[in-house]
């Protein structure tokens, strides 16, 4: 818009060959405005050539302006952004861009989202705040547990999505002779062992991740699943004898028989239970 003699008109101009063809919409007529120092000269014509200073000729056209009624906002966008923001706050990703890419990729494909159920404080055994936590391991379990065997490349991809250190993943994989396919339940057990300093702590984490009970509940899992993880971790440890394992399982079987063949951390943390290691 240009103001001349107290009024504003919409101008459309084309800069060619040093001349500016100027059109002013004035009720169907074209008006030429010659701006000279100290005076205004206004004359109605059909088309005009007006010389403009270089500074005006090189000025870019104004950006297109829209009013609120012209901008269409997809109705689902506010809820998508709201859920994304809440997920980011709960998960507290170390690399927000990397995590956001994974989030929207999973959302578009209808896959399990890389989102924690709640904000998580670092566990006491962590040396830094960048490593694996129970909450992050729970995310991985939800994303990958539908498979008995997980391709190592897929595991690495999900691991990277959470900005977890590659060195820690390699250390976990090195605990067993995994090849291209990784048996998920075994990997879960080994990962739980990195969260705590003992096999008892590892099995407690496993119960809390695998349970179908509400968060903060008894954290029950099938006794068969507990037995598999316990025997596997005892074998990897190498210092837990078969006798110790059998004594513990015999005592826990009695408790499981009372609980529909389910076991919970309270059972093997009890003073009445033989030591697991």
pTM for the predicted model, two decimal places: 0.72
Residue 67: per-residue pLDDT: 73
pLDDT for 45 beyond 50: no
Residue 72: per-residue pLDDT: 85
pLDDT for 66 beyond 60: yes
pLDDT for 54 beyond 90: no
pLDDT, tens digit (0-9, with 9 covering 90-100), for 210-254? 999 998 899 999 999 999 999 999 999 999 999 999 999 999 999
Mean pLDDT of the chain: 82
Terminal C-alpha separation, the chain: 83
CA distance 275 to 273: 6
pLDDT, tens digit (0-9, with 9 covering 90-100), for 14-27? 444 444 444 444 44
pLDDT for 129 beyond 70: no
Domain boundaries, the chain: 2-69, 73-193, 197-277
Largest CA distance in the chain: 109
Q: Could you tell me which residues are beta bridge partners of residue 182?
A: 150
Mean pLDDT of 160-177: 94
């Amino acid at each position: 818009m240009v103001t001349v003699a107290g009024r504003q008109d919409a101008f459309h101009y084309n800069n060619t060959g040093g001349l500016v063809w100027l059109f002013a919409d004035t009720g169907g007529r074209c008006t030429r405005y010659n701006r000279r120092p100290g005076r205004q000269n206004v004359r109605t014509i059909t088309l005009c050539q007006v010389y403009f200073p270089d500074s005006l000729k090189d000025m870019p056209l104004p950006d297109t302006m829209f009013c609120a009624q012209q901008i269409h906002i997809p109705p689902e966008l506010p809820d998508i952004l709201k859920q994304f923001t809440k997920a980011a706050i709960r998960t507290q990703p170390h690399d927000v861009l990397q995590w956001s890419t994974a989030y929207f990729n999973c959302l578009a494909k209808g896959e399990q989202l890389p989102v924690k159920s709640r904000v998580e404080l670092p566990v006491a055994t962590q040396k830094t705040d960048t490593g694996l936590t129970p909450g992050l391991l729970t995310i991985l379990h939800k994303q990958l547990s539908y498979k008995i065997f997980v391709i190592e490349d897929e595991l690495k991809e999900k691991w990277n999505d959470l900005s977890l250190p590659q060195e820690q993943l390699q250390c976990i994989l090195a605990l067993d002779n995994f090849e291209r396919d990784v048996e998920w339940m075994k990997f879960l057990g080994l990962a739980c062992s990195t969260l705590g300093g003992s096999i008892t702590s590892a099995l407690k984490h496993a119960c809390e991740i695998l349970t179908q009970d509400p968060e903060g509940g008894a954290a029950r899992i099938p006794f068969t699943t507990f037995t598999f993880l316990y025997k596997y971790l005892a074998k990897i440890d190498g210092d837990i004898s078969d006798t110790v394992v059998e004594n513990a399982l015999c005592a826990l079987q009695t408790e499981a028989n009372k609980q529909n063949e389910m076991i919970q951390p309270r059972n093997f943390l009890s003073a009445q239970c033989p030591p697991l290691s």
